[in-house]
């Protein structure tokens, strides 16, 4: 079992480690800015859900380091593959926050869907682990075409129980694709603890089965997540194949807005982890390193707040699409004849209802409803 890689101290027992090479003041502040954007989005989206303005939302509060850190290690041209837990990470690649909020709300107009090729961000994937082979395939295609492009996929520890975890890693290992498999082990899959997902002590040790490196990092530490990913990408680009990274973290909040963790876990457990949460922890570290002061901190938070507020305004300016949205973009080649008929069916019923108010059913002798019996 590999040692847990960590850079940030916690201001208590854990000491700070030296800042990794290549991270100057500018880079550190940028990583902090990314964490703050993600945190701001997450808190705002939860509020919007509580207000009934968006649908079921999967919170990632506390897991920002596992998203911003690895992404910061990627080149702009690298492909990333989020699951629903990383639904907002594409904002850091330029996807408008309104688009992601539109996904959570259930409609965003045509802008509610983004073109993955425009941002090199795979679609937000709901089923578990099935996007791991996609990440392998993207990096494999790059290799065939002679591009130095890598890929990175996020998934939880629960995803390691699925067959596609194996298939994604196995293909990547066989064909030596430059792929980072980034597991956010937050220890809970809804109510199922990690001990019910695997008989191994760690996720990282599963890498041995594929003959690839398995790294464990502190998942509340954005700099550790960054360094591990940066090293993995370098190996991948040098032709040494994929890496499995296990970011050990904890799901501070519920699985999603419809979940109630008090049914299955002791809230005291949350308190053991919450002081490690990455936004406050990086802020304190950067203050200790004299990189962050009140003024910069406030400016970064104000900017993030405005970015997300702009997203909410954008969201609310989008009208719900009509029923044509069901049919409009299933096929790139155009609509099959069935779609025109089926859309017309929706429209014809709506038209009749608005034309005349519904009448009570007419009873005829034969079809008379039998009287209720006592």
Partner 1 sequence: MPTLTMVESLNRALHEAMDTSNRVVVMGEDVARTGGVFRVTAGLLKRFGDERVIDTPLSESGIVGTAVGMSLYGMLPVVEIQFDGFIYPALEQILVHVARFGWRTNAEATANLVIRIPFGGGVRAPELHSDSPEGLLAHSPGLKVVCPATPSDARAMLLAAIAHPDPVVFMEPKRIYRAGRQEVAEEMPFDLHTANGATTTMLSTARVARDGEALVMFAYGSTVPLCIEAADRLEAQRGVNPRVVDLRSLYPLDVEAICTHGADCGRALVVHEAPRMAGIGAEVSSLIHERVMLDLEAPVGRVTGFDVPFPQFANEEDYLPSVDRITAGAIKVLEF
Q: Using CB under 8 A as the criterion, which residues of the chain lie in contact with partner 1 when the complex forms?
A: 79, 110, 113-118, 122-123, 127, 130-142, 144-145, 149, 151, 163-164, 167-168, 170-171, 174, 328-334, 336-338
**Minimum distance between the CB of residue 136 and partner 1, rounded to whole angstroms?**
5
Residue 103 vs 226, nearer CB to partner 1: 103
Q: Are 192 and 156 in contact (CB under 8 A)?
A: no
264, 275, 329, 331: the active-site residue? 264
Residue closer to partner 1, measured from CB, 150 or 249: 150
**Residue closer to partner 1, measured from CB, 116 or 278:** 116
The least CB distance from residue 48 to partner 1, in Å, is 22
Closest listed residue to residue 154, CA positions, set 257, 65, 93: 65
Beta carbon nearer to partner 1, 46 or 209: 209
Q: Which is nearer to partner 1, 289 or 349 (CB)?
A: 349
**Mapped to the 3 state alphabet, what secondary structure does the chain carry?**
CCCEECCCCCCCCCCCCCCCCCCCHHHHHHHHHHHHHHHHHHHHHHHHHHCCCCCCCCCCCCCCHHHHHHHHHCCCCCEEECEHHHCCHHHHHCCCHHHHHHHHHCCCHHHHCCCHHHHCECCCECCCCCCHHHHHHHHHHHHHHCCCCCEEEEEEHHHHHCHHHHHHHHHHHHHCCCEEEEEEECCEECCEEHHHCCCCCCCHHHHHHHCCCEEEEECCCHHHHHHHHHHHHHHHHCCCCCEEEEEECCCCCCCCCCCCHHHCCCHHHHHHHHCCCHHHHHHHHHHHCCCCCHHHHHHHHHHHHHHHHHHHHHHHCCCCCCHHHHCCCCCCCCCCHHHHHHHHHHHHHHHHHHHCCCCCCCCCCCCCCCCCCC
Q: Considering the complex, state which of residue 45 and residue 125 has its C-beta at the smaller distance from partner 1.
A: 125
**255 among known catalytic residues:** yes
Catalytic residue, chosen from 235, 255, 281, 301, is 255
- Least distance from partner 1 to the Cβ atom of residue 109, Å: 10
In the annotation, is 210 catalytic?
no
Q: Which is nearer to partner 1, 257 or 342 (CB)?
A: 342
Least distance (Å) between residue 320 CB and partner 1:
16
What span, in angstroms and rounded, lies between the C-alpha atoms of 81 and 70? 12
Smallest separation, CB 175 to partner 1 (Å) = 8
Is 275 catalytic? The answer is: no
- Least distance to partner 1 from the beta carbon of 158, Å? 16
Provide the minimum distance between the beta carbon of 59 and partner 1 in the complex, in angstroms, as a whole number. 22
- Per the residue annotation, which of 33, 131, 251, 301 is the catalytic one? 251
Q: CA-to-CA distance for 7 and 194, rounded, in angstroms? A: 25
Question: Residues with Cβ < 8 Å from 260, sequence gap 6 or more?
Answer: 254
Annotated active-site positions, please?
A: 251, 255, 264
């Amino acid at each position: 079992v590999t040692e847990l890689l960590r850079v940030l101290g916690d201001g208590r027992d854990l000491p700070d480690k030296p800042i990794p090479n290549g991270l100057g003041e500018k880079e550190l502040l940028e990583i902090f800015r990314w964490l703050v954007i993600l945190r701001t989005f997450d808190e705002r989206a939860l509020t919007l859900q509580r207000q009934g303005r968006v649908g079921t939302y999967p919170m990632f509060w506390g897991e920002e380091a596992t998203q911003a850190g690895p992404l910061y290690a990627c080149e702009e041209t690298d492909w990333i593959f989020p699951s629903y837990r990383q639904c907002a990470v594409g904002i850091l690649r330029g996807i408008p926050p309104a688009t992601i909020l539109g996904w959570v709300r259930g409609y965003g107009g045509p802008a509610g869907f983004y073109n993955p090729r425009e941002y090199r961000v795979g679609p937000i994937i709901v089923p578990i682990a099935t996007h791991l082979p996609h990440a392998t395939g993207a990096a494999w295609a790059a290799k065939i075409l002679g591009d130095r492009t890598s890929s990175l996929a996020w998934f939880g520890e629960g995803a390691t129980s699925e067959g596609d975890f194996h298939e994604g890693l196995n293909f990547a290992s066989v064909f030596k694709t430059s792929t980072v498999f980034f597991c956010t082990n937050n220890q809970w899959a809804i109510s199922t603890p990690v001990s019910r997902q695997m008989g191994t002590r760690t996720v990282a040790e599963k890498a041995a089965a594929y003959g690839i490196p398995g790294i464990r990092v502190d998942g509340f530490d954005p700099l550790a997540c960054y360094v591990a990913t940066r090293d993995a990408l370098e190996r991948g680009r040098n032709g040494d194949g994929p890496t499995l990274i296990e970011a050990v973290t904890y799901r501070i909040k519920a699985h999603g807005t419809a979940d109630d963790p008090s049914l299955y876990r002791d809230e005291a457990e949350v308190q053991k982890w919450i002081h490690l949460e990455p936004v406050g922890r990086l802020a304190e570290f950067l203050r200790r390193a004299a990189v962050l002061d009140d003024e910069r901190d406030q400016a970064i938070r104000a900017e993030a707040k405005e970015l997300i507020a702009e997203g909410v305004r954008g969201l609310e300016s989008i009208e719900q699409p009509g029923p044509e949205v069901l049919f409009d973009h299933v096929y790139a080649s155009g609509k099959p004849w069935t779609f025109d008929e089926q859309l017309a069916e929706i429209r014809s019923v709506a038209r009749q209802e608005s034309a005349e108010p519904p009448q009570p059913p007419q009873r005829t002798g034969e079809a008379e409803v039998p009287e209720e019996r006592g």
